[in-house]
Structure 1
């Protein structure tokens, strides 16, 4: 579930044979021990992803085996989730009430807000180990440290593959305990192809149409139910960088959802977004992409989706609290306090104390791996180009020259 972005292909690798989707399904069923009739929707999405991968690049030898391994593991995890749901019917009865969604574009402070909201003793947030080893449900058997450590090793492999990534996004150093984005949850159902679960695919993530958003949110709820079953009652705090493009579908799935949406000058956002995109996908594609060509295409595609989002009547929905990035960075706790007051949620001294401790902890400092100097030139961008593309958005939220 993504906004519009360019279909950029990498150069062809070798002359290997395409991935066999039927063989993939058969092996995943054996691994998961789930031999029930496959859901047609899931099968269609897997077919679509494999066809897309086969059309992007011809894989050969070891690289093909690595891609198939990740796809097989992901599919086996999805089949185990379905088997758990059939085996434990009570999971489907779990109520997900008043979840908090941190929405908005990458590099606008969404991770900071998510991290602070997750410090509420009454909150629960999805973690890395949840998407990488969710079965059996945490409410069924004790979650031993080894299970979480096992998933952390996969994050170690991602970081080792993408040097420089921690400088831009240091939060992944929490390994199995790091907070995740909803795009990872959607990827479990093959509604997306997020690199944290599929970083061996040598291409940009697959672009899915917004029409799949209803199904994606349906699975999202199922996944939260899976994690919540037989656990202490708490409200969910989740985060995703594409929710703002499908607000109608989000509120249809979660009518009582509460959203917080930070806004930042696009001329500051997009050099940062392109830099982390280049570091991540450059490593995944062995630096075969032309990021100077990608930059303008990326901005153009995002700008079209932003224009549509700003025109949506849901932008002014009272369930959404809009936040200025400058105010957020000056006093993030004040922003959270305001959000709780707006939403009528209990705001405790213990919660504020935990947020203060989190902010003061050097292990959470945003520059603990150094600072990166963001610039536009390597990506073919100029301030004028970005300001022109996002003029309506900047005017609407008083950003940049409209501040």
Structure 2
């Protein structure tokens, strides 16, 4: 880090590998990284002590098969990178088994109303994480911590009163190890187990989350995802929200994911009384930030890392997301939705706060306002340092050509260009 606090990551193309990163790239010995759908599901059954009901057939088995096929086609993954994805698949399938087991024992869960949820959508790196963690300070809203998103249903007995949840400890240990290997991640997207996280982890359990794409280069999966309706997976997410509400209320949810931006119609179908907040930022700035963050962590997952290939992949992926957003934007009426331009949002966050509360029909009490303003004071922008990005040099991207490619988005949403 420079004396100014600016962070320059100068080894994205040729990363310097520590012993910990080398070990992560190799992965644990004795793990079968080539296992198929049946083996993954069997591992999940074993992990849950023999639970074997995965619930309604929503197509998740087929989707898992497509993920594995696409994964086999990504020859640039390290063994450790491949194992991480397989391990995630086992985890989310075990979560699914626990969800179904709990609902069978307590069918009243499915009668719980999810009351006027507030969804936040927007490009990665467009302020959605800040917005959801900020609004979550209002205790009248139910939000999702990172550790809870990773393990929605406990796998063991509840902790003693006052003791930490074992799920939170597991998450903190895992992400602490990750950030020890990649210390600059905190300045780009810190993974604090207690922070409020994206609900695409819930879609993960229906194998319809774009989380897979963050960890591998799997165009076959992306094409399959866009070729099929995702409404059924948002219905599954609603079931998980009912389970989480049954465990701990209240029942008015605050949710966020960039993935929601390309699923506006599906969300409207499943949650017709919701409020939808969409953040918009210059896609060139988004891609500049996103590719740097992914390339930095690719030193664990990929050999070679290939920053230009990463940029090409994500430019296309962001374009598909934005085109889907524009195509589906009309699904949300003006009295239930708002578009927040990033430069306006950053310039006057208090105004945005009041706009969101008005849209949601939620009174801004004095207690809520104090808590929200305190969050802003505690979390200034770039508090972990400012990362310097080099989209043109490291990633070989022609910025002028990229702006021409995204002209369709600039014409629809007048975001400010960022240098």
TM-score of the superposed pair, with normalisation by structure 2:
0.81
In structure 1, runs of 5+ residues without a counterpart are: 1-12
What SS is found at the alignment partner of 1:293?
helix
Alignment of 1:226-375 (within 5 A): 226-229=243-246, 231-280=248-297, 282-312=298-328, 314=330, 317-318=333-334, 319-361=336-378, 364-375=379-390
SS of structure 2 residue aligned to 1:145: coil
Give the CA RMSD over aligned residues: 3.2
| C-alpha separation in 2, matches of 1:82 and 1:303 | 36
Q: Is the 8 A contact 2:121 2:257 kept in 1?
A: yes
Q: CA, structure 1 residues 141+241, in 2 after alignment: closer, same or farther (shift >3 Å)?
A: same
Change (3 A) 1:46 1:307: closer
Deviation at 1:224, TM superposition (A): 0.8
Report which stretch shifted further, 23-32 or 109-118: 23-32
SS at match of 2:253: strand
One of 371, 395, 402 as aligned partner of 2:411:
395
Distance of 2:316 and 2:90 partners within structure 1: 34
Cα gap change, 1:226/1:99 in structure 2, threshold over 3 Å: closer, same or farther? Answer: same
Distance 1:68 1:314, change over 3 A: same
TM-score (norm 1): 0.83
- The partner residue of 2:68 within 50, 62, 72 is 50
Q: Partner of 1:103: helix, strand, or coil?
A: strand
Bigger mean CA offset, 176-185 vs 100-109:
176-185
Maintained 8 Å contact 1:106/1:241: yes
Q: Is the contact made by 1:28 and 1:76 (CA closer than 8 Å) also made in structure 2? A: yes
- Please state if 1:123 is matched with 2:123: no
Asked if the contact 2:231–2:266 (Cα under 8 Å) also holds between the matched residues in 1, the reply is: yes
Q: 1:87 to 1:252 in 2, by over 3 A?
A: same
Deviation for aligned residue 1:184? 1.7
Give the structure 2 partner of residue 32 of structure 1. Answer: 48
The CA distance in 2 between the partners of 1:248 and 1:261, in whole Å, is 14
Q: Deviations over 1:375-398 (max 9, x none)?
A: 222222233122111112112222
1-structure distance, mates of 2:208, 2:328: 23
- Give distance in 1, aligned partners of 2:318 and 2:86: 30
C-alpha separation in 2, matches of 1:181 and 1:17: 27
Q: Secondary structure at the match of 1:242?
A: helix
1:214-233 to structure 2, matched below 5 A, reads 214-229=231-246, 231-233=248-250
Distance 1:264 1:120 in 2: 25
Q: 2:126 aligns with which of 86, 105, 108?
A: 108
Superposition deviation, residue 80 in structure 1: 1.3
Deviation at 1:310, TM superposition (A): 1.7
Aligned match for 1:149, one of 164, 169, 187: 169
1:198-223 deviation per Cα after TM superposition (whole angstroms, max 9, x unaligned): 99x66569525132411220111111
Instruction: Report the Cα offset of residue 161 of structure 1.
Output: 4.4
Q: Check conservation: 2:264, 2:329, Cα contact below 8 A.
A: no
1:33-182 equivalences under 5 Å are 33-39=49-55, 40=57, 41-57=59-75, 68-136=86-154, 144-147=163-166, 148-170=168-190, 172=191, 175-182=192-199
Once residues 112 and 401 of structure 1 are traced to their aligned partners in structure 2, the CA distance between those partners, rounded to angstroms, is 21
Q: Contact 1:131/1:188 (CA < 8 Å) preserved in 2?
A: no
Contact 1:137–1:227, Cα closer than 8 Å, also in 2: no
- TM-superposed CA distance for 1:348, in Å, is 0.8
